[in-house]
Amino acid sequence: MNIAFVEIKNFRKLKSCRIDLSAKSTILVGANNSGKTSAMFAFVKFLKKRQLVVEDFTLSNLALIAHLGEKYIDKTNPVVPSIEDWKEICPFIDIWLDVREDELRYVADIIPTLSWRSGKIGIRLIYEPKDSENLFQEFISAFELARTRSDKAKLWPLDLTDYLHNKMKKHFVMNAYILDPDKIVPLGQDSTAYPQETPYNNSPLDFDPLKKLIRVDIISAQRWLEDSSDDDNDAKSESNLLSAQLRDYYDRQLDPERKPSSSDLKALVEMQSAKDVFDKQISKRFQSAMQELAKFGYPGKHNPGIVIEAKTQTSDIISHSTVVKYPIFSDGDNKYKLSEKFNGLGYQNLISMSFKLMSFRDSWINGDRRKADDEKLETIQPIHLVLIEEPEAHLHVQVQQVFIKNAYNILRNHSRLKTRNEFCTQMIVSTHSSTIALECKFSELRYFRRTKSSEGLPISVVINLSNVFGVSTQTTRFVARYLKTTHCDLFFADAAILIEGTGERVFMPYFINMHETLADTYISVLEIGGRYAHYLKPLIDTLGISCLVITDLDCGHGSNKSSILPERGKGYFSSNPTIMNWVIMNSDLDYLLDLDFNSKVESNPHISDAKTRVAYQTPIKVVLTDGTEYEFIPNTFEDAMAYTNYDSFKTMNGKGLIKKFRDAFKNNNGCQIATDVYNAVKSSSTKKAEFALDMIYNKDPQSIVTPAYIEDALTWLEEEISLKDNNDFLSKEDE
């Protein structure tokens, strides 16, 4: 048995979405404010806490609550309150389980029909009014009382939303309903989920249907997923110490004084013998102090005497903070150790989090050793759901990779879990870390994409990246390998810029900083080259982010596509696969040189206002020394930089390409200059990085003019991002 997927509706940014869960690990990724935290809170609040606050309702539904309150207080059109009033407002989560036929014993109480034998079982947990009539009456009473007290001062409650800020717990309850597997609806084209209506024709279940099915454990980030009060934060911080976790683990799982084995009994006898010896010794030590106390008339005739005994419960052995030590080195005779607080913070946290996972696992499978012998043993839930919120909050980059590689294996490292499929472990990790995301398979990634509701408010949809490249396994392998190689942050970016090579990579930060909006935006810059950039198209389209592809013209001719100096009217073409396969879909050189701006842009098929633009070198007119104007057609970033900064290159210091450009520009023949520059770039194709570094060494990058094809493209991207920010996201609800 495992959780196949969940559907969440009306909860924070999750207006209506589906999250498919992998059988093992599911990784939630997405840009800031995309709804990952909303999802993690949904799991915790519905499955563990079973209680919400009014702020957990989707923003647009707060207005619906207020409008409902207005209907309640409108005496000219009296309404009869009903649970139906709330069916489009109340937050809920649908848990869909995949259950095998041999697991019927676990779900006998919640099967959808008597004929059901295996497959999907759905349970809705919905936070809804206990009694709509009672809520109506008490709100009206409170509202009218406030108005009678003052018609000028704004007294509570201002409206129904304001009333529920204080009275939500009194009037709302978490109810559970059995869902119909035949009414599961596929996701819409925009990845919106369409959960079935709450089956109000049936009464809610009078028991917790998931209590014996799913165990939930949490490792929260520093915001505390558990919604702890500020007063609890110090205690939570202390509990992150490994020594504190060891004490708790010992108390729950290992303490030999509770249900001891034969070997435990032997150890206890020896410890108690040692205690007797120590008691005698400590009594001698305190004898003089007791005699001195007697001078003050204590204990006297009627008061009990004082006996000092050592407290030697086994748990006391690890009751102080220096119990965990790390060996540092040995000089042959002595071993030197430091307590845990002196170890590096990254490894402290790695050890601590790993131990938490071990503790979760053992408590799930072994139960709690503290239970009394006559207490009924708890049934092991068949599903263990472990939530880890932003582990990078605890771990630096070097150990994030280690943690995510081993976390799931730790959760399964038990004799009852290794070789048997009776019990299922599912781990959900939310992250902003590219290190963590790239250690995982595409099939495990769930991308949270920001969008907007019909009211224009920010909401999220969730994209399953399992099939982003369709059946093309070779493309999938290539993209996965490339992203891992480049340490890509594409899954967390607001926009992407794909560039041709090293020269663009060196200068792109300077070009971007000249555009204020771009400089303040989370942009992922990927050096991938025109030969391979188009392989990222399915991923870019799925992520729904604006994308700028800056590539080279790469003029060619003949059947073997040999490189040649670009010229008009010669039947030449671009040999660049990205130009041929993405947006433009045409390789004719004359067509490309005269192509208008809008024809280099296409809208994303998934989200219309996320567009992709392909930019390549365009003709540059330069005034030569004799005053004549000549049109140069650059072929690469390097010659475009040279022609754009023509006057600077005539006197610029430097070797390699810089020197070759300087020498070429001494000529006054445009045709010869073009030939010399083309040959210089072609002969120095392996030294382009050297050219870029020489330039910023010899000249202030801020004084270098950006080639027009790049400048125009960056201006376009800046306008796209500005338009998106102004229209889509009115407020930031969470990350």
Beta bridge partners of 452: 458
Does residue 157 have a cis peptide bond before it, meaning omega lies within 30 degrees of 0? Answer: yes
Q: Report how far residue 290's alpha carbon sits from residue 376's, in angstroms, rounded to the nearest whole number.
A: 48
pLDDT at 231: 40
Of the candidates 453, 441, 347, the residue with the CA atom closest to the CA atom of residue 400: 347
Quick one: pLDDT band at residue 289, thresholds 50, 70, 90?
A: low
Quick one: pLDDT band at residue 236, thresholds 50, 70, 90?
A: very low
Alpha carbon 221 to chain centroid, angstroms: 12
- Span 7-33, mean pLDDT? 96
Residues 6+ apart with CB under 8 A from 485: none
pLDDT at 534: 94
pLDDT at 275: 74
pLDDT at 272: 76
pLDDT at 484: 82
Beta bridge partners of 588: 573
Coil/strand/helix, residue 733: coil
pLDDT at 241: 61
Task: Give me Rg for the CA atoms of the chain.
Answer: 34
- Span 131-148, mean pLDDT? 94
Question: Mean pLDDT for the chain?
Answer: 86
pLDDT at 455: 82
290 membership: H or E segment, kind and range: helix 262-294
Q: What percent of the chain has pLDDT over 90?
A: 63
Q: How far apart are the first and last CA of the chain?
A: 31
Sign of CA dihedral 167, 171, 174, 178: negative
Q: What percent of the chain has pLDDT over 70?
A: 83
Q: Is 63 exposed, middle or buried (0-12, 13-18, 19+ CB in 10 A)?
A: middle
* 541: pLDDT strictly greater than 50: yes
Mode of pairing for the β-strands spanning 119-129 and 92-99? antiparallel
Which phi-psi region, left, alpha or beta, contains residue 74 (left: φ > 0; alpha: ψ -120 to 50)?
A: beta
pLDDT in tens, 612-621: 999 999 999 9
pLDDT at 618: 97
Sign of CA dihedral 357, 362, 365, 369: negative
* 323: pLDDT strictly greater than 70: no
Alpha carbon 94 to chain centroid, angstroms: 21
pLDDT in tens, 349-387: 787 888 889 989 999 998 876 555 555 557 899 999 999
Report which DSSP code applies to 686. Answer: G
- Span 301-330, mean pLDDT? 58
Quick one: pLDDT band at residue 150, thresholds 50, 70, 90?
A: confident
- Tokens, residue 489: 């942050």
- Span 258-266, mean pLDDT? 67
- Tokens, residue 635: 């072929």
Place of tokens 């002196």: 342
Q: Do the Cβ atoms of 509 and 714 come closer than 8 Å?
A: no
Lowest-confidence region among 400-404, 632-636, 673-677: 400-404
Quick one: pLDDT band at residue 340, thresholds 50, 70, 90?
A: low
Residues 6+ apart with CB under 8 A from 177: 123, 124, 126, 198, 199, 202, 204, 205
Backbone angles phi, psi at 219, to 5 degrees: -115, 110
Which phi-psi region, left, alpha or beta, contains residue 119 (left: φ > 0; alpha: ψ -120 to 50)?
A: left
- Per-position DSSP letters for 388-426, written without gaps between them: EE-GGGT--HHHHHHHHHHHHHHHT-SHHHHS--SSEEE
- Span 460-488, mean pLDDT? 86
Q: Report how far residue 574's alpha carbon sits from residue 557's, in angstroms, rounded to the nearest whole number.
A: 8
pLDDT at 238: 45
Q: Do the Cβ atoms of 195 and 364 come closer than 8 Å?
A: no
pLDDT at 572: 97
Residues 6+ apart with CB under 8 A from 511: 706, 710, 711, 714
Quick one: pLDDT band at residue 230, thresholds 50, 70, 90?
A: very low
pLDDT at 370: 57
Q: Do the Cβ atoms of 680 and 506 come closer than 8 Å?
A: no
pLDDT at 298: 46
Q: Report how far residue 117's alpha carbon sits from residue 545's, in angstroms, rounded to the nearest whole number.
A: 44
Residues 6+ apart with CB under 8 A from 45: 51, 52, 56, 227
Lowest-confidence region among 143-152, 248-257, 701-710: 248-257
Alpha helical stretches, state H, 594-707: 637-644, 646-649, 656-664, 670-683, 688-698
Of the candidates 572, 501, 495, 570, the residue with the CA atom closest to the CA atom of residue 533: 501
Q: Is 468 exposed, middle or buried (0-12, 13-18, 19+ CB in 10 A)?
A: buried
pLDDT at 348: 73
pLDDT at 350: 81
Quick one: pLDDT band at residue 215, thresholds 50, 70, 90?
A: very high
Q: Report how far residue 527's alpha carbon sits from residue 312's, in angstroms, rounded to the nearest whole number.
A: 64
Q: Report how far residue 40's alpha carbon sits from residue 68's, in angstroms, rounded to the nearest whole number.
A: 29
pLDDT at 183: 97
Coil/strand/helix, residue 125: strand
Q: C-alpha distances in angstroms, 26 versus 5, 21, 120, 446?
A: 11, 6, 20, 7
Q: Report how far residue 675's alpha carbon sits from residue 677's, in angstroms, rounded to the nearest whole number.
A: 6
Q: 145-151 — which CB contacts under 8 Å span 24+ positions?
A: none
Place of tokens 């794909």: 498
pLDDT at 134: 96
Q: Report how far residue 129's alpha carbon sits from residue 131's, in angstroms, rounded to the nearest whole number.
A: 5
* 444: pLDDT strictly greater than 70: yes
- Tokens, residue 536: 């990222």
Q: Report how far residue 430's alpha carbon sits from residue 220's, in angstroms, rounded to the nearest whole number.
A: 10
pLDDT in tens, 70-119: 999 998 998 899 999 999 999 999 999 999 999 999 999 999 999 999 99
Q: Report how far residue 716's alpha carbon sits from residue 452's, in angstroms, rounded to the nearest whole number.
A: 22
| Domain residue limits, the chain | 2-213+423-444, 275-312, 482-617+709-728, 620-706
Q: Do the Cβ atoms of 29 and 445 come closer than 8 Å?
A: yes
17 membership: H or E segment, kind and range: strand 14-20
Place of tokens 């108390």: 251
| Cβ density class 172-211: b for 16+ within 10 Å, e for less | bebbbbbbeeeebeebeeebebebbebeeeeebeeeebbe
548 membership: H or E segment, kind and range: strand 546-550
Find the Cα–Cα–Cα–Cα dihedral 338, 339, 344, 346, rounded to 10°: 150
* 490: pLDDT strictly greater than 60: yes
Of the candidates 105, 63, 120, the residue with the CA atom closest to the CA atom of residue 88: 63
Neighbours of 439 (CB within 10 A): 17
pLDDT at 729: 42
Q: 570-575 — which CB contacts under 8 Å span 24+ positions?
A: 574/616
Beta bridge partners of 563: 556
Quick one: pLDDT band at residue 423, thresholds 50, 70, 90?
A: very high
- Span 145-170, mean pLDDT? 91
* 12: pLDDT strictly greater than 90: yes
* 10: pLDDT strictly greater than 70: yes
More confident residue, 451 or 11: 11
- Span 407-427, mean pLDDT? 92
Alpha carbon 265 to chain centroid, angstroms: 49
- Tokens, residue 617: 């070198």
pLDDT at 735: 45
* 316: pLDDT strictly greater than 80: no
* 235: pLDDT strictly greater than 50: no
pLDDT at 692: 92
